[in-house]
A and B are shown apart, each in its own frame.
Chain A
Amino acid sequence: MASEPEPPMDERPSQASLFPGREDQLDDLSKLLADKDCAPSVLFLSGLPGTAKTLIIDHVLRGRNDRIAWLDCVERHNPRLLLESALTQLSGCRPEPLTDDNSGLWGTFQQCDSVSEFVGCLDEALPVPAPEDTRMTTVVFDHAEKLRDMGPFFLPAITRFAALTERTVTVILISNLTWLHFRSRVGSIEAFSVEFPQYTRAEILQIIARDCPADEEPGFYVSFAEILYDVFSNPCRDIKELRHMVTLLFPKYVEPVKNGKATREQTSKLFGHIQTHIKDALHTLYLREMSSSEWQTQNEPSSAASKANPRAGSGAVDLPYYTKFLVIAAFLASYNPARLDVRFFSKDRSDEVKRRKGGKGRSRGLVNEGGHMRQQLLGPKSFPVERMLAIFYSILPDEIEGTTDIQMQIASLMTLRILLRVTTPDRLDGMKCKCNASYEFVQQLGKSVRFDVSQYLHDFI
């Protein structure tokens, strides 16, 4: 598959196939679901996100006269929602307002909390079809991996719908996990699995080519897609992401052409032009540090205001004076070993001591300095709040009375997620926290209150 010859560039890809790369699956599925009596009771579609699972099954099922219940497990997030919706859809009605005023109560076919109720109600909703009725009954669960979180008995019951309801029902599970992940929950049932493998380069290019704007040469568009694919295929092969990037970056690519600075044939020139943008995009767009709209406005030179806007919320968090010290104290408590607190923070700390911690303990021999056990590499350590408070009071330049305010500030730091509580919330005594602030942030705070954080950090680079 990987070494498949690429399609000729000048051909419109739509001629190749409706769904490039999914011909096999389309074929398999239409065969499997062709006849009601041969259809499997459980059909399992698995494949990574963006591999057209939803698209294909929708294509196969649509246009048929079947009874279908389509359930998205993300939105129908508990059994009741799923089952009620399934009943309503199978019975052929749709939820409707009970009163004239449609903001009031809404009706559904039947209230139904569990699979056993569902089985009971199903006869009402959908009388057992006559044997000559060729229509199938299908229940589709999209994003079926969510089903695994809905209690231990729900998923096994669903996969046994056919047996439980004593009729021919096909349950289709669509998931981006493999059947392996389901089998342990489901038991001995075997499902018909249809795999949706990741696309090859050629297939991806074919799919992307379909997005080509009407006023653009497809060949030119695809050549750009190729460039992008080669850059991005290492971190990401997700078709959605790639299409997203291509649509956002393509205007940049043709810009010189539109300006008349280059022709479509001067690919190397165009490539040189786009390279910087791609680099940018790797950082900002792909990681979503910048959203698509910001990306677009950023490149419109007209709006000066919007240029300042993207960085608006970054970094600068204005904290009250004492709260800044609290954050610093929390940071120190998280990254310094507790045994050194006396040395750093005791009141009668002499200059000699100061020098020692600042100026490398290597001569004085702190045994486990450096190396891979350094706290900085391990991340913040949890500490008792009392320790943080002790550090806080010792680093404050002036004496303050302990008031409720300090406690309130600790609480607000927790809601702001600058402090993370590691003990359970109902434990009042001996509460432990972690500092969730970055070194840059703390350093910035330290600067604003004239406190040199680095002076107080042990073994920190």
Chain B
Amino acid sequence: MAPTVHTTDPMEQIDVGLYLLPPKTTSESKGRKTSKKAKATTADTTSSNDTLRRECDGFQRLYVGRESEAFCRRRHALFKRRWGCMKERIDSILERLNLQAIEQIVNFVRHAHDGGLGLHNPELPTGLIFTGINPHDHERLFTQIAGKLREERASAHSAAVAMLPAAKCTNLKAASRCLIEQFLGAENLLDDEESNEMNVAQETPESTKKCTAKLPNYDLQRLTGWHRLTGGTKTLIVVLPDFECFDVGVLHALIGILSTFHKTIPFVLLFGVATSIETVHQTLSRDDLACLRIEKFKSQQAQECVNVIVQELIVKQPVNVGGVPTAFKLGLEPYRFLVDNFQLHTLSVSSFEQALKYAMMDMYYSSPLCVLMDARSDAPEADVEDDITALSEDHLRDVRMTKSFRRFVDSNLESNPDLAAAVLCDDNSLKQWIRRSLLDLDRFHVRYHAGIQCVVELQNTINSPTFRRTIRNLHLLGLQGDIVETEFMVALLQLLRKKKVAVMQEFLVACLKQLTANAVTQAAFSDEIATINALQIELASFVTSGSDSDDSSGDSDGAADLARSGKRLRPAGRTTNVAKRLKPIVEHVKAGTLQACSKRVTDFLEELFRDCLKSYTEMPLHEPLYYANEGRLKKAFHPQPRAAIQTALGQTQHYLSCTCCPSTNSTATAAGDAISANLQDTSIAYRLYLECGRLINLYDWFVAFGAILEKEKDDGLEGDEGEEDAAHRRQHIQARFVKAIAELQYMGFIKSTTRKTDHVMRLTWGNV
């Protein structure tokens, strides 16, 4: 939830300083990671790096600059392509979700002036669009609506749309100007001053009595005149996307004015309301409300939008058959961060989208192996093949350093020592392995997606509010792995078993539909599809045979069933470990009964989910595909200004990294009062401040501050100075002290107090 730009917001009055420090050379920025610096880069390579960086939005060659330029460009291009696709998808998803609301609104506008209702004082048709609390999210919605309305009315009667954002309409003049500008579609409305000048220039003889002076650009006569001259039938639609931010006075005046014009000009108002109808009633007076004929519309909830985005852009496999990027995989922690941030803090689709973009950009920017994400290993030996063949030594070393690679080697040491040795030592085998692993991952992703869909179907079948999770939470469970062991899953399967045959059949059909959604999934699920078919036949036999009566009672009296059928058989054909783990009580179920059959279904499901929804960390080579850097997201989206300021003041070396600052914090604290005089003044004052109590005596503070600065002088030049110099110096110190104190006060560390003269109050305690 982001605050809207409010004109009276204090934040606008603070100058926010933002420093962007691009790393000077690649070697410096990556030097930390690899701990050895690139050898002297010639002026030549530097300049080529510069052009590269310029052309690639700051992407730079990794591996201490050893990465080939082609790879760097490729990462950049891949990022652009992927984000382009995702952005397009997000837009179309949101448009699809809001389609109904948009249609309703357009319909409302179209018929707004049809009926007339036979009232005496015509009311302004007003649509309230309840959008949810994030105004920024809905700019998109409103542009869509505006676009639709413009094209919509182009045919029958024409319509014009004006969008009045609250930030632009701080007073009535500005609002009117905005209105006129947008309706008349004219940027050529000159400012008052300019028009004054033109006025003088164009003075014509008075006798003609022509209108020559300019109308002020906020004069609504301009609008009425224009409307009259353009035929007088145009519907004028005024959209206020952020109702809550609007100044009440302006709103009141605007409604008053528009309703006086309404007799001649057909107006329609559309308000975007973030909260509820109660706010509208609170904001507008009864007289204003009496001028409006309100209808309400609801746009799609942010929750639902994010669910669909997660489903379509995160749960799916990253690249589809055609090699077009479709989704972006996030590891558990970053994904949880995104979801938490959404649920707990913002509820905003656009900030979710931004975080996703940021993660993706960081992935492509900082991880050289990310090119594998878009390498379609099963594609014909075309362009993509060379991504893998072209992998450099650095890349391969990185692959060998991944955890999943090591696990793979470890697990193969005994069973297949040759393979382990080959991938370890031979680059070609490794590439072969990469190819294979990518294929496996592909299959895994396809199965994972279908598996999640099956869980959704299962939920729909059970249809109980306590066992309904949104897809974004299901995915979270899936990423954690072991979804079958979760209480939630156990309960779901238990419930399924108690359902009637018909319900179970329906569910299996739905499942089958998910598994056979397309050729790819069909191929990935060939075994399971066969099993489901078998199960369906088995279930069907219960329906056709006389045991229909069981169906109805099958929910509860399993014991009766058990007694009726005499045969006692071990569950046959169950060789999987699932079968071995069956609980003793379940063992008693006899084959051939409905119970046995439904148990077979749940066992099958359990197995299916166990395999499909296993944690991605079990897959070899998942690292290049899953974004894992939660810390960076946190830093970008949950900044902690207070901690940053305190570090800046208390541990200046992190920021300045100059030689004169004490290198570590420990030396500073160990040496007690050894505050270096070389520090920045505010920092010195701050460190002294840390040693003070609740009330700080300014004079003592000043003396201590002076003493530190004096030390600098002592260290510097030895020798006498004149009386004047000393006085001058004291003044100098005092000035610096006052400046430092003012800065601390501005940052909120101290506050003046009336309790004791010459004292200030200390406001912060403890280090963050």
Contacts and interface: CB of A to CB of B under 8 A. Distances in A.
A247 B120 contact: yes
B290 A288 contact: yes
A293 B293 contact: yes
B117 A93 contact: no
A152 B42 CA distance: 75
Contacts of A98: 211-212, 214
A428 B10 contact: yes
Contacts of B261: 75
A124 B290 contact: no
Contacts of A78: 173
Interface string A218-261: 00000000000000000000001101100110000000000000
A321 B344 contact: yes
B130 A313 contact: yes
A427 B211 contact: no
Interface in B130-147: 130, 132-135
A291 interface: yes
A95 interface: yes
A96 B220 contact: no
Interface in B265-295: 273-279, 281-283, 286, 289-290, 292-295
A108 B215 contact: yes
A345 to B, nearest CB: 19
Interface stretch (B1-9, B76-84, B596-604, B648-656): B1-9
Interface stretch (A11-19, A349-357, A405-413): A405-413
Interface string A84-118: 11001001111111100011111111110000000
A320 B346 contact: yes
A319 interface: yes
A401 interface: yes
Q: Which of A75, A247, A426 has the largest number of chain B CB atoms within 10 A?
A: A75
A435 to B, nearest CB: 14
Instruction: Tell me if A's interface is mostly helix, strand, loop or mixed.
Output: loop
Interface string B105-118: 00000000001011
Interface in B86-127: 115, 117-121, 123, 125-126
A312 interface: yes
Contacts of B18: none
Contacts of A404: 638-641
A302 interface: no
B307 to A, nearest CB: 13
Contact of A412 (B4, B210, B277, B638): B4
Interface in B287-343: 289-290, 292-298, 301-303, 341-343
A418 B344 CA distance: 18
B196 to A, nearest CB: 7
A228 to B, nearest CB: 15
A108 B214 contact: yes
Bin chain B's interface residue count: 35 or more
Contact of A318 (B117, B229, B303): B303
A412 B1 contact: yes
Nearest to B277: A313
B345 A103 contact: no
Contact of B296 (A93, A309, A426): A309
Interface stretch (B181-189, B373-381, B396-404, B417-425): B181-189
A260 B292 CA distance: 35
Interface in A369-428: 401-405, 408-409, 411-412, 414-418, 425-428
Interface residues on A, range: 35 or more
Contacts of B232: none
B244 interface: yes
B88 to A, nearest CB: 27
B244 A417 contact: yes
A415 B638 contact: no
B260 A81 contact: no
Contact of B133 (A96, A106, A124, A412): A412
Given A74-B253, A74-B257, A293-B117, A313 B281 contact: no
A102 B215 contact: no
A426 B11 CA distance: 9
A240 B286 CA distance: 13
B260 A74 contact: yes
A111 B196 contact: yes
A292 B293 contact: yes
A81 B224 CA distance: 14
B352 to A, nearest CB: 12
Given A72-B260, A244-B120, A412-B4, A312 B297 contact: yes
A255 to B, nearest CB: 16
B209 interface: yes
B296 to A, nearest CB: 4
Given A317-B276, A415-B245, A312 B296 contact: yes
B25 to A, nearest CB: 32
A76 to B, nearest CB: 9
Contacts of A124: 206
B126 to A, nearest CB: 8
Contact of A416 (B188, B244, B346, B347): B244
B94 to A, nearest CB: 17
A323 interface: yes
Nearest to A287: B286
Contact of A408 (B2, B244, B748): B2
B294 A105 contact: no
Given A80-B216, A320-B1, A416-B133, A426 B346 contact: no
A107 B215 contact: yes
Contacts of A427: 10
A350 B125 CA distance: 57
A241 B639 CA distance: 55
A332 B674 CA distance: 47
Interface string B704-736: 000000000000000000000000000000000
A192 interface: no
Contacts of B273: 313
Interface string B195-225: 1100100000010011111111001111001
B275 A93 contact: no
A77 B279 CA distance: 27
B302 A318 contact: yes
Contact of A319 (B172, B282, B347): B347
Contact of B118 (A91, A102, A107, A247): A247
Nearest to A409: B1
A211 interface: yes
Interface in A50-97: 72, 74-75, 77-78, 80-81, 84-85, 88, 91-97
Contact of A240 (B3, B121, B196, B253): B121
B49 to A, nearest CB: 35
Interface of A: 72, 74-75, 77-78, 80-81, 84-85, 88, 91-98, 102-111, 124, 211, 240-241, 243-244, 247-248, 287-289, 291-294, 296, 309-310, 312-323, 401-405, 408-409, 411-412, 414-418, 425-429, 438
Q: Lowest 6 A-B CB distances belong to which pairs?
A: A411-B3, A107-B211, A103-B184, A291-B294, A288-B289, A425-B8
Given A103-B186, A240-B120, A318-B303, 13 more contacts: A80-B216, A105-B214, A108-B221, A109-B209, A296-B117, A315-B278, A320-B346, A323-B1, A404-B641, A405-B345, A405-B638, A415-B135, A417-B283
5 contacts: A94-B225, A111-B214, A314-B277, A318-B301, A405-B346
